[in-house]
Chain A
Amino acid sequence: MKSTWNKTWAGVLALTLVASLTACGGGSSSNKPTNTGTSGGSEAGANEKVKLKVYAQHFDDDTAKPFDYAVEELKKEMPNVEIELDPAVQDGFQKLKTYAATGNLPDIYYTDWNTLQTFSKSQNVQVLDDYDTTKEYKANLNPGVESRMVAPDGHVYAFPDTGVEFELLYYNKKIFQEAGISVPIKTIDELAEAAQKLKAKGYVPLSIFAKEKWITTAFYNAFLTREDGIGTGVFEKGDPKETPQSAVTAAEQVKKLQQAGLLDVNATNTNYDQASSMFYTGKSAMLINGQWEIYSAQEKMGDNVDFMYWPAKDEQTYENMKFQMNGSGGPQGYAVSSKSKNIDVAVKVAAFIAKKSAEYKFTVLGNPIVAPKIDKPVTATDIPAMMKRLTTDVLPNAKGYAVAVSKLSISTAIDDNTQNLLVDGFSVDDFVKNMNRALSK
């Protein structure tokens, strides 16, 4: 009796396996969802409990609070869905890749374009193009942030929560006054001159946490975007085999500033905590970081801090390009595993979480850098002045954003060599030579 029972089960199991194998055989071309969303029929199982595993950034207030808010909202909206959180830390998505390799991908995961590229090639991520949820989400994006959602290959892989972030040049008003430097600084020459004045007064002109390479790229990109709005995108536009002229010019500008003593001698071994502490304790006059620094800058320095637009080779270029943002939006956000058992629900939940965490950032924190338009009012009362300036002056005038580099070998080469530029003995020629080698590969 028992053995026949087992055999029957084995038979059923074998059949389901075959069925699922043939289903897989259809391959990536059949990404089209079988049920197209809103019609009543697909909601038949709405009362069934669905458990979804979500791998999301969740390690400090900045990351945990928006997520937790979104999950609370989800309970009201889709009470049948239960979220199991697997908290992610910043590890370059190493662990997520291991999950993919071992077939353990969570239903929903938060990741960036680098990972999405490999996941799309290996069919670990659900292509979202044809879902109604996607169309709705896309229709509701803030202007200028399409690149956060639609990948360079034309597909949608993830629902973005943040908008396109960008790096600003923060400065200490008192120190500038004391050193007799008038703002805004419009040209590279003025910046170099200011550096010398600040140094003479015993300040570190600009603190940069150049131990992290992305910030050296951002620093370089600040000047490159003045020359060409797409920034480091010039290294990929039209597949150049040699470093484009605009990129050489920007390298020369960075070198010039480095030689003028703009940066601390220990810059390439300075971490964020050191660099920001230098700026906040009044040891350095300027700081470069993303717009997210506004909150702590205002908290630590009150009215004594502001940001300026990036200087360019001459005033004309400065005026033309000042609203060209030094930041690029690669696709990033909540993606859905193609291996999930509840893909359709997961797609809706992913979009919902993305939207609601954006809502939290916008309403509670007063942060305008979010991907979807939020129609709820801002409830935050103590929005930093710089944040207001962003909302009223900058974002409405923003002319465009840089273009992200897709090819990893090129982006790592840019990271390495922009860091190199900040060190004595590394010349612009070396920069060009190294970049040419990376480009010719």
Chain B
Amino acid sequence: MRQYLGNKKAILFFLLPAMLIYTVIIIYPVLQTVYRSFYNWDGLSEATFNGLGNFRDLFTDPLLKTSLKNGGIFALVLVVFQIGLGTILALVCADVKVKGRKLLKTAYFIPVVLSVTVVCQLWIAIYDPTNGLINRLLQMLGIPYQQHWLTSPTKSIIAIAFVNAWQFMGYQFALLYAGVKSIPEQYMEAATIDGCSKWKAHWKVTLPLMKETYKFCFTIAITGGISAFTQMLIMTNGGPGTSNYTMTFMVYRYAFLESNYGYACAVAVVLVIISLIATVVINKVFDRNEAV
């Protein structure tokens, strides 16, 4: 069996196409990024070696603190909303007793299909402080919690994270649904026969079996949060000021607005390292839980 699965030629055959194209198109530019992160470089002229200078500057850059904090908030909102709601909806839609589940399932995915630009425009209108749906609704309900959703330096990041969470919930939902569906029904039947309620059976049987799916969902939610960018660019342009910055926004700013390419590369390197650490931690956490 070992020999069967250790067939060197086969391994090479399966790996090669992906490895080749990925290495040339992604890793080669990534290596250049790493290399450039040690230089003072505007992207075009001759670069001058700067050692760890870019990194030293980066760790005292107030934008880094803002970005890390925003990335953390973003990731948290994504995890809670997407995975929480995604799980519940996936379980419900997998339940044959729920009427119209096919329709529901399709509908929940629709926001994913729309372009980010459309969705952001919609939410800009919804968040409008005077004409927006949210403030009007609060007013109608008599709740004195009218907010300047997108112009508040503290609340806007949550408001934007929510838009991303809402739009791509369908993504996580589809993955989780596929996960639930790939669990043989006998397991659930066995559990319910043992006298568990439906939700308890899910908690005890379904979710643990979906460990790999969850690992993946957490990874994309958390790393996606840390590196979020497009929504800020469209909805608030990173502002007011720099209050909505994330690390990717920093990269964009230093590379394109300030022509400080070397420094932008340093930011990118740190971003990749943080994301990798997050991925490793997520993996560790899930694997430890298994041992318990």
Contact = CB atoms under 8 A, between A and B. Distances in A.
A118 interface: yes
Given A265-B148, A412-B258, A97 B237 contact: no
B240 interface: yes
Interface string A406-437: 00110010001101101101100000000001
B239 A97 contact: no
A266 B42 contact: no
Given A423-B153, A426-B241, A118 B128 contact: no
A349 to B, nearest CB: 24
B256 A265 contact: no
B45 A97 contact: no
Given A409-B258, A412-B253, A423-B153, A97 B44 contact: yes
Contact of B42 (A122, A420, A425): A122
A302 interface: no
Given A114-B259, A269-B124, A101 B43 contact: yes
Given A265-B129, A265-B148, A412-B253, A423 B240 contact: yes
A121 interface: yes
Query: Which of B42, B62, B151, B258 gathers most chain A CB within 10 Å?
Result: B151
A100 B260 CA distance: 16
Nearest to A120: B45
Nearest to A418: B241
Given A118-B42, A119-B44, A92 B257 contact: yes
Interface string B135-155: 000000000000010111100
Interface string A251-280: 000000000000001111100000000000
B200 to A, nearest CB: 46
Contacts of A425: 153
A262 to B, nearest CB: 15
Nearest to A430: B241
A357 interface: no
B130 interface: yes
A437 to B, nearest CB: 7
Contacts of A423: 151-153, 240-241
A53 interface: no
Nearest to A115: B259
Interface string A92-117: 10100100110000000000001001
A420 B44 contact: no
A193 interface: no
B236 interface: yes
B239 A267 contact: no
Interface residues of A, number: 32
Interface in B104-129: 124, 128-129
Nearest to A267: B151
A373 interface: no
B283 interface: no
A124 interface: yes
A94 B256 contact: yes
Nearest to A437: B62
A408 B259 CA distance: 8
B50 to A, nearest CB: 14
A213 B43 contact: no
Given A423-B151, A423-B153, A425-B153, A122 B239 contact: no
Given A101-B44, A122-B45, A269-B150, A408 B241 contact: no
A212 interface: yes
A197 interface: no
Nearest to B128: A266
Contacts of B260: 408-409
A313 interface: no
A423 B124 CA distance: 18
A51 interface: no
B213 interface: no
Given A269-B150, A416-B242, A423-B153, A213 B44 contact: no
* Chain B interface SS verdict (over half): loop
Interface in B252-271: 253, 256-260
Given A266-B130, A266-B151, A121 B42 contact: yes
Nearest to B150: A269
A426 B153 contact: yes
B236 A420 contact: no
B45 A118 contact: yes
A420 B237 CA distance: 13
A65 interface: no
Contacts of B153: 420, 423, 425-426
Contacts of B241: 416-417, 419-420, 423, 426
A100 B44 CA distance: 7
A417 B151 CA distance: 14
B239 A211 contact: yes
Interface string B27-41: 000000000000000
A16 B128 CA distance: 63
A54 B123 CA distance: 39
A416 B45 CA distance: 27
Contact of B151 (A114, A118, A269, A408): A269
Nearest to B46: A122
A423 B237 CA distance: 15
A422 to B, nearest CB: 7
Contact of B259 (A118, A416, A422): A118
A92 B259 CA distance: 11
Interface in A121-158: 121-122, 124
Given A97-B44, A101-B43, A213 B259 contact: no
A51 to B, nearest CB: 25
Contacts of A118: 42-45, 259
A160 B260 CA distance: 26
B44 A124 contact: yes
Nearest to A119: B44
A438 to B, nearest CB: 10
Nearest to B146: A265
Interface in A175-219: 211-213
Given A97-B43, A124-B44, A269-B235, 14 more contacts: A97-B256, A101-B43, A212-B237, A265-B148, A266-B128, A266-B148, A268-B240, A269-B124, A409-B260, A412-B257, A416-B242, A417-B241, A423-B241, A425-B153
Interface of A: 92, 94, 97, 100-101, 114, 117-119, 121-122, 124, 211-213, 265-269, 408-409, 412, 416-417, 419-420, 422-423, 425-426, 437
6 contacts: A101-B43, A211-B236, A213-B239, A408-B258, A412-B253, A437-B62
Closest 8 CB pairs of A and B: A122-B44, A420-B241, A122-B45, A121-B45, A408-B258, A268-B240, A423-B240, A269-B150
